[in-house]
Amino acid sequence: MATELHHFINGAKVAGTSGRTLDVFNPNTGEVSARTPLASADEVRSAIASSAAAFPEWASVNPQRRARVMFNFKRLVEDNMNELAELLSAQHGKVVADSKGDVQRGLEVIEFACGIPHLQKGEFTEGAGPGIDMYSMRQPLGVCAGITPFNFPAMIPMWMFGVSIACGNTFVCKPSEKDPSVPLRLAELMMEAGAPAGVLNVINGDKEAVDTLLTDEHVEAISFVGSSAIAEYIYATGAAHGKRVQAMGGAKNHAIIMPDADLDRVVDDLIGAGYGSAGERCMAISVAVPVGKETADRLIEKLIPRVESLKVGLSTDDEADYGPMVTAEQRDKVAGWIDRGVEEGASLLVDGRGFELQGYEGGFFIGGSLFDNVTPDMDIYKEEIFGPVLSVVRAETFEEAAKLPSEHQYGNGVSIFTRDGDAARSFAANVNVGMVGINVPIPVPLAYHSFGGWKRSSFGGTNQHGMEGVRFYTKVKTVTSRWPTGVKEGSSFVIPTMK
């Protein structure tokens, strides 16, 4: 029997009242496991009102005490790691080990946020002028909101609300309706950690919920991760309503493989980065660019047996390389991209279409696919596939290879594999992409740096977490002060300067 899910508002589970729901599936079996309530605008506004009411008191809590709540939350998430990972796998489909990585990468941002007493400090200048001191303060914004994707239902919500709440804001999270149970559980743990009711609310919904968050006057800032088309809409609509917006979009991450690279290591990295989590990662390597015919031929020779031997299994299978996709629709969409690649003339060397797991024929499984001879004019190169499909684009020279990610519409991540330090340094400095890996296949920065792409991979110009996150979730107030010293001066009618 399907579980009826809920919202989490003002510190308590709240049943949906709109009458609209969406099925949540067990991707291993294809069966409906739960139903998500889709909030009406009024339900969303009740969550916003709860956060607005909680904001003044929470903003007045000193940073050290806010940090203690974050420390408590970190411990509780660690204590409940197995439960969270199993819940995540049951709705998303990624294997449990990968789900634990999802939770852990979110926890690393929580660890960063525990340093908020230092991170939120302003600046001070003594004697900026005669008897004048000048200082700045970083103050919270108010009610902030996050709209998070299905592929990282633990990590990305924690990326957002961890920094925001630590800075003194209150937060409304609208998770993906495909796998919302982990964000709901995280909200319960935040209350258990000592955050007052209303500091973190979770509201489930679709476009009606999103549009309410984007237009409500009480919401000060919006953070989003998802497809580029929706990211652009989020940015344009939120900005038009006077909100701060950071909106992360799609990706087409390249791996440049130089002739001097260790190909055995490269193949290991491509298999993990291209096919892990069924390719449902915005930082997945989906394009391999070997430089030179010999490099390309050797790479293909090594890749084919590795892709053919990928073990696709249940999300609970410890030996599986990856599990099912999140929905049948997502699986069919990926299969359609493979169809398109064949139509466009790419060489399909390994075909994952039609894969079925014995005994679980209703599950949303698809095998790994490998294309060779993909060219930049093909749709399978231009667009994000978001599945276990790796495309090989051959380049004759380093310069030709480097142009591909720089000229692509997306600019999220890129990697180069080489032993040549000069080539790597030049590439990192000049490539038109926001995150670069040098012999690192998934260049996701650690929590104390920041995450964000360029071009159509990001709208709003502000990255996630790190000091960029602190700056996004705070506003700066600068104070110029002068105390009477007994010196009398006449009136001045000109703007003060430091002559």
Q: Is residue 144 annotated as a catalytic residue, yes or no?
A: no
Please state whether 416 falls in left (phi above 0), alpha (psi between -120 and 50) or beta. Answer: beta
Bridge-based pairing of strands 413-417 and 435-438 is parallel
Query: Partners of 221 in the beta sheet?
Result: 144, 244
Give per-residue burial for 321-348: e unless 16+ CB within 10 Å, then b.
bbbbbbbeebbeebbebbeebeeeebeb
The Cα–Cα gap between 199 and 83 comes to 23
Instruction: Output phi, psi for 320, to 5 deg.
Output: -75, 140
All residues at 6 or more sequence positions from 471 whose CB lies less than 8 Å from its CB, including other chains: 138, 462
- How many Cβ atoms are within 10 Å of 452's Cβ, its own excluded? 21
Active-site option among 144, 167, 173, 282: 282
**218 within 8 A of 142, measured Cβ to Cβ:** yes
All residues at 6 or more sequence positions from 297 whose CB lies less than 8 Å from its CB, including other chains: none
**473 within 8 A of 164, measured Cβ to Cβ:** yes
The set of catalytic residues is 282
